[in-house]
Protein backbone atom coordinates (compact mmCIF):
# COMPACT_ATOMS: atom_id res chain seq x y z
CA UNK A 1 0.00 0.00 0.00
CA UNK A 2 1.49 3.30 -1.11
CA UNK A 3 0.88 6.73 0.43
CA UNK A 4 0.82 9.42 -2.25
CA UNK A 5 0.42 13.14 -1.56
CA UNK A 6 0.85 14.79 -4.97
CA UNK A 7 -1.28 14.70 -8.10
CA UNK A 8 1.74 14.10 -10.35
CA UNK A 9 2.80 10.99 -8.42
CA UNK A 10 -0.79 9.73 -8.30
CA UNK A 11 -1.33 10.11 -12.04
CA UNK A 12 1.94 8.28 -12.73
CA UNK A 13 0.93 5.39 -10.47
CA UNK A 14 -2.56 5.17 -12.02
CA UNK A 15 -1.15 5.26 -15.56
CA UNK A 16 1.03 2.24 -14.79
CA UNK A 17 -1.99 0.29 -13.54
CA UNK A 18 -4.19 1.21 -16.48
CA UNK A 19 -1.49 0.40 -19.01
CA UNK A 20 -1.42 -3.07 -17.48
CA UNK A 21 -5.17 -3.35 -18.17
CA UNK A 22 -6.22 -3.20 -14.52
CA UNK A 23 -9.62 -1.93 -13.34
CA UNK A 24 -9.31 0.99 -10.91
CA UNK A 25 -11.79 1.42 -8.05
CA UNK A 26 -11.98 4.56 -5.96
CA UNK A 27 -13.28 5.35 -2.48
CA UNK A 28 -13.21 9.09 -1.67
CA UNK A 29 -13.21 9.85 2.06
CA UNK A 30 -12.47 12.65 4.50
CA UNK A 31 -10.61 10.23 6.77
CA UNK A 32 -11.46 9.30 10.37
CA UNK A 33 -12.22 5.92 8.86
CA UNK A 34 -14.65 3.42 10.36
CA UNK A 35 -16.12 0.06 9.37
CA UNK A 36 -18.49 1.75 6.94
CA UNK A 37 -15.55 3.09 4.95
CA UNK A 38 -13.78 -0.27 5.12
CA UNK A 39 -16.87 -1.95 3.70
CA UNK A 40 -16.67 0.39 0.70
CA UNK A 41 -12.98 -0.46 0.26
CA UNK A 42 -13.69 -4.19 0.51
CA UNK A 43 -16.51 -3.90 -2.02
CA UNK A 44 -14.16 -2.09 -4.38
CA UNK A 45 -11.56 -4.81 -3.86
CA UNK A 46 -14.05 -7.49 -4.90
CA UNK A 47 -14.80 -5.77 -8.20
CA UNK A 48 -11.55 -4.00 -9.09
CA UNK A 49 -7.86 -4.84 -9.48
CA UNK A 50 -6.58 -1.65 -7.87
CA UNK A 51 -8.27 0.32 -5.09
CA UNK A 52 -7.47 3.98 -4.42
CA UNK A 53 -8.68 5.62 -1.19
CA UNK A 54 -8.45 9.39 -0.88
CA UNK A 55 -8.22 11.04 2.54
CA UNK A 56 -8.90 14.75 2.27
CA UNK A 57 -10.95 17.04 4.50
CA UNK A 58 -12.42 19.28 1.84
CA UNK A 59 -12.77 22.90 3.02
CA UNK A 60 -15.19 23.97 0.28
CA UNK A 61 -18.02 21.73 1.50
CA UNK A 62 -18.11 23.18 5.01
CA UNK A 63 -20.38 26.18 5.50
CA UNK A 64 -19.41 26.30 9.18
CA UNK A 65 -15.72 26.98 9.93
CA UNK A 66 -16.01 25.58 13.45
CA UNK A 67 -17.31 22.33 11.97
CA UNK A 68 -14.33 22.25 9.58
CA UNK A 69 -11.85 22.78 12.41
CA UNK A 70 -13.47 20.12 14.62
CA UNK A 71 -13.65 17.47 11.93
CA UNK A 72 -11.39 14.57 13.05
CA UNK A 73 -8.09 14.11 11.24
CA UNK A 74 -6.51 10.72 11.94
CA UNK A 75 -4.23 9.80 9.03
CA UNK A 76 -1.96 7.45 10.96
CA UNK A 77 -4.78 5.33 12.38
CA UNK A 78 -6.55 5.46 9.00
CA UNK A 79 -3.46 3.98 7.36
CA UNK A 80 -3.34 1.20 9.95
CA UNK A 81 -6.99 0.31 9.26
CA UNK A 82 -6.46 0.28 5.51
CA UNK A 83 -3.59 -2.21 5.76
CA UNK A 84 -6.14 -4.97 6.34
CA UNK A 85 -8.12 -4.07 3.22
CA UNK A 86 -7.55 -4.37 -0.56
CA UNK A 87 -6.45 -0.71 -0.68
CA UNK A 88 -3.45 -0.25 -3.01
CA UNK A 89 -2.99 3.51 -2.92
CA UNK A 90 -3.83 6.09 -0.28
CA UNK A 91 -4.04 9.58 -1.76
CA UNK A 92 -3.74 12.22 0.99
CA UNK A 93 -3.15 15.60 -0.65
CA UNK A 94 -2.92 19.00 1.00
CA UNK A 95 -5.55 21.67 0.39
CA UNK A 96 -2.98 23.57 -1.68
CA UNK A 97 -2.47 20.50 -3.89
CA UNK A 98 -6.19 20.11 -4.57
CA UNK A 99 -6.90 23.84 -4.84
CA UNK A 100 -3.80 25.58 -6.26
CA UNK A 101 -6.27 28.33 -7.10
CA UNK A 102 -9.84 29.00 -6.01
CA UNK A 103 -12.46 26.76 -7.60
CA UNK A 104 -15.18 29.19 -8.74
CA UNK A 105 -17.39 26.63 -10.48
CA UNK A 106 -21.07 26.78 -9.55
CA UNK A 107 -23.15 23.68 -10.19
CA UNK A 108 -26.91 23.65 -10.71
CA UNK A 109 -28.72 20.68 -9.19
CA UNK A 110 -32.31 21.89 -9.09
CA UNK A 111 -34.54 20.45 -6.39
CA UNK A 112 -32.12 17.72 -5.28
CA UNK A 113 -29.60 20.38 -4.29
CA UNK A 114 -31.96 22.81 -2.57
CA UNK A 115 -33.87 20.59 -0.11
CA UNK A 116 -32.84 18.98 3.20
CA UNK A 117 -29.03 19.18 3.36
CA UNK A 118 -29.05 21.75 0.58
CA UNK A 119 -31.42 23.98 2.54
CA UNK A 120 -29.62 23.76 5.87
CA UNK A 121 -26.04 23.66 4.59
CA UNK A 122 -25.94 26.25 1.78
CA UNK A 123 -22.97 25.75 -0.53
CA UNK A 124 -22.25 22.27 0.86
CA UNK A 125 -23.18 20.32 -2.26
CA UNK A 126 -21.38 22.74 -4.56
CA UNK A 127 -18.24 22.03 -2.53
CA UNK A 128 -18.89 18.29 -2.74
CA UNK A 129 -19.26 18.50 -6.51
CA UNK A 130 -16.10 20.58 -6.80
CA UNK A 131 -13.90 18.19 -4.85
CA UNK A 132 -15.35 14.92 -6.16
CA UNK A 133 -15.08 16.09 -9.77
CA UNK A 134 -11.46 17.10 -9.11
CA UNK A 135 -10.69 13.74 -7.49
CA UNK A 136 -12.32 11.89 -10.39
CA UNK A 137 -10.11 13.86 -12.77
CA UNK A 138 -7.02 12.97 -10.75
CA UNK A 139 -7.75 9.27 -10.15
CA UNK A 140 -9.71 8.57 -13.34
CA UNK A 141 -11.36 5.50 -11.81
CA UNK A 142 -13.51 2.98 -13.62
CA UNK A 143 -15.75 2.68 -10.55
CA UNK A 144 -16.34 4.81 -7.46
CA UNK A 145 -18.00 3.64 -4.24
CA UNK A 146 -20.26 5.70 -1.96
CA UNK A 147 -22.28 4.86 1.13
CA UNK A 148 -26.05 5.28 1.12
CA UNK A 149 -25.95 7.03 4.52
CA UNK A 150 -25.28 10.18 2.48
CA UNK A 151 -28.32 9.48 0.32
CA UNK A 152 -28.76 13.03 -0.97
CA UNK A 153 -25.05 13.38 -1.66
CA UNK A 154 -25.20 10.27 -3.83
CA UNK A 155 -27.98 11.88 -5.90
CA UNK A 156 -25.81 15.00 -6.25
CA UNK A 157 -22.78 13.00 -7.39
CA UNK A 158 -24.82 11.08 -9.96
CA UNK A 159 -26.13 14.39 -11.31
CA UNK A 160 -22.65 15.90 -11.41
CA UNK A 161 -21.27 12.88 -13.26
CA UNK A 162 -24.09 13.19 -15.82
CA UNK A 163 -23.56 16.94 -16.24
CA UNK A 164 -19.80 16.66 -16.74
CA UNK A 165 -20.05 13.38 -18.68
CA UNK A 166 -17.42 11.74 -16.47
CA UNK A 167 -16.76 8.13 -17.55
CA UNK A 168 -17.12 6.50 -14.13
CA UNK A 169 -19.62 3.99 -12.71
CA UNK A 170 -21.05 5.08 -9.37
CA UNK A 171 -21.61 2.15 -7.00
CA UNK A 172 -23.95 2.75 -4.02
CA UNK A 173 -23.32 0.64 -0.91
CA UNK A 174 -25.62 -0.06 2.07
CA UNK A 175 -25.50 1.87 5.34
CA UNK A 176 -23.30 0.21 7.97
CA UNK A 177 -24.62 0.52 11.52
CA UNK A 178 -23.28 0.11 15.03
CA UNK A 179 -24.67 -2.73 17.15
CA UNK A 180 -27.33 -0.37 18.57
CA UNK A 181 -28.37 0.82 15.10
CA UNK A 182 -26.59 4.18 14.95
CA UNK A 183 -25.36 4.82 11.41
CA UNK A 184 -21.57 4.73 11.34
CA UNK A 185 -20.08 8.18 10.81
CA UNK A 186 -16.73 9.85 11.41
CA UNK A 187 -18.65 12.42 13.46
CA UNK A 188 -19.66 9.75 15.98
CA UNK A 189 -16.14 10.00 17.42
CA UNK A 190 -16.92 13.60 18.48
CA UNK A 191 -19.85 12.53 20.69
CA UNK A 192 -19.48 12.47 24.46
CA UNK A 193 -20.28 9.01 25.91
CA UNK A 194 -23.70 10.06 27.19
CA UNK A 195 -24.48 11.74 23.84
CA UNK A 196 -23.41 8.60 22.02
CA UNK A 197 -25.84 6.53 24.10
CA UNK A 198 -28.74 8.85 23.34
CA UNK A 199 -27.90 9.16 19.63
CA UNK A 200 -29.10 5.59 19.12
CA UNK A 201 -32.66 6.91 19.42
CA UNK A 202 -32.34 8.37 15.91
CA UNK A 203 -32.11 5.02 14.10
CA UNK A 204 -34.44 3.35 16.57
CA UNK A 205 -37.11 5.93 15.70
CA UNK A 206 -36.56 5.46 11.96
CA UNK A 207 -36.97 1.70 12.26
CA UNK A 208 -40.18 2.22 14.26
CA UNK A 209 -41.40 4.61 11.57
CA UNK A 210 -41.15 1.77 9.04
CA UNK A 211 -43.73 -0.14 11.07
CA UNK A 212 -45.98 2.82 11.90
CA UNK A 213 -46.48 3.99 8.32
CA UNK A 214 -49.46 1.62 8.12
CA UNK A 215 -51.01 3.39 11.11
CA UNK A 216 -50.34 7.04 10.25
CA UNK A 217 -50.67 9.42 7.32
CA UNK A 218 -47.44 10.88 5.93
CA UNK A 219 -47.82 14.10 7.92
CA UNK A 220 -48.77 12.24 11.09
CA UNK A 221 -45.69 10.05 10.78
CA UNK A 222 -43.46 13.09 10.30
CA UNK A 223 -44.85 14.67 13.46
CA UNK A 224 -44.43 11.42 15.38
CA UNK A 225 -40.77 11.02 14.36
CA UNK A 226 -39.83 14.62 15.23
CA UNK A 227 -41.78 14.51 18.49
CA UNK A 228 -40.20 11.22 19.54
CA UNK A 229 -36.66 12.42 18.93
CA UNK A 230 -37.11 15.91 20.34
CA UNK A 231 -38.47 14.62 23.65
CA UNK A 232 -34.89 13.46 24.29
CA UNK A 233 -33.01 16.39 25.86
CA UNK A 234 -29.77 15.45 24.07
CA UNK A 235 -31.33 15.56 20.60
CA UNK A 236 -32.85 18.26 18.39
CA UNK A 237 -34.21 17.50 14.93
CA UNK A 238 -33.06 19.90 12.21
CA UNK A 239 -35.23 18.35 9.54
CA UNK A 240 -37.14 15.16 8.82
CA UNK A 241 -38.73 14.52 5.45
CA UNK A 242 -40.09 11.64 3.42
CA UNK A 243 -39.13 11.99 -0.23
CA UNK A 244 -39.04 10.08 -3.48
CA UNK A 245 -35.67 8.56 -4.34
CA UNK A 246 -35.26 10.36 -7.68
CA UNK A 247 -36.17 14.03 -7.41
CA UNK A 248 -36.15 14.07 -3.58
CA UNK A 249 -39.54 15.77 -3.56
CA UNK A 250 -41.63 15.50 -0.41
CA UNK A 251 -44.40 12.95 -0.70
CA UNK A 252 -47.86 13.69 0.62
CA UNK A 253 -49.51 10.26 0.40
CA UNK A 254 -48.47 6.63 0.76
CA UNK A 255 -50.42 6.01 -2.45
CA UNK A 256 -47.81 7.81 -4.57
CA UNK A 257 -46.14 5.28 -6.87
CA UNK A 258 -42.54 6.15 -5.97
CA UNK A 259 -39.82 4.65 -3.82
CA UNK A 260 -39.96 6.48 -0.50
CA UNK A 261 -36.97 7.45 1.65
CA UNK A 262 -37.16 8.97 5.13
CA UNK A 263 -34.24 11.37 5.66
CA UNK A 264 -33.25 13.06 8.91
CA UNK A 265 -30.66 15.41 10.40
CA UNK A 266 -30.35 15.69 14.17
CA UNK A 267 -28.10 17.75 16.42
CA UNK A 268 -26.70 15.74 19.32
CA UNK A 269 -24.89 18.29 21.46
CA UNK A 270 -22.56 20.08 19.03
CA UNK A 271 -22.48 17.15 16.61
CA UNK A 272 -24.77 16.99 13.60
CA UNK A 273 -25.83 13.48 12.53
CA UNK A 274 -27.73 12.33 9.45
CA UNK A 275 -29.48 9.08 8.65
CA UNK A 276 -32.12 7.67 6.30
CA UNK A 277 -34.20 4.59 5.80
CA UNK A 278 -36.27 3.16 2.96
CA UNK A 279 -39.99 3.13 3.82
Catalytically active residues are 37
Question: What does the alpha-carbon distance between residue 217 and residue 275 come to, in Å, rounded to a whole number?
Answer: 21
Question: What does the alpha-carbon distance between residue 35 and residue 19 come to, in Å, rounded to a whole number?
Answer: 32
The answer to whether 264 and 237 have CB atoms below 8 angstroms apart is yes
The answer to whether 143 and 163 have CB atoms below 8 angstroms apart is no
Question: What does the alpha-carbon distance between residue 198 and residue 207 come to, in Å, rounded to a whole number?
Answer: 16
The answer to whether 40 and 146 have CB atoms below 8 angstroms apart is yes
The answer to whether 276 and 151 have CB atoms below 8 angstroms apart is yes
Spell out the residues 6+ positions from residue 249 whose beta carbon is closer than 8 angstroms to its own: 111, 115, 243
Q: Is 11 helix (H, G, I), strand (E, B) or coil?
A: helix
Amino acid sequence: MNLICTIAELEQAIDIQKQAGRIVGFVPTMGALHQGHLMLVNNAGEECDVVVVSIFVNPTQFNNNEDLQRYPRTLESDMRLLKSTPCSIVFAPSAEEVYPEEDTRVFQFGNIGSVMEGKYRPGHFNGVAQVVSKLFDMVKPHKAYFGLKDFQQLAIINSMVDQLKIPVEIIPCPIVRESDGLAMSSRNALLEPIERDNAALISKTLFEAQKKKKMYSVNELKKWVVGTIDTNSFLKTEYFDIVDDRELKSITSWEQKVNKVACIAVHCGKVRLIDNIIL
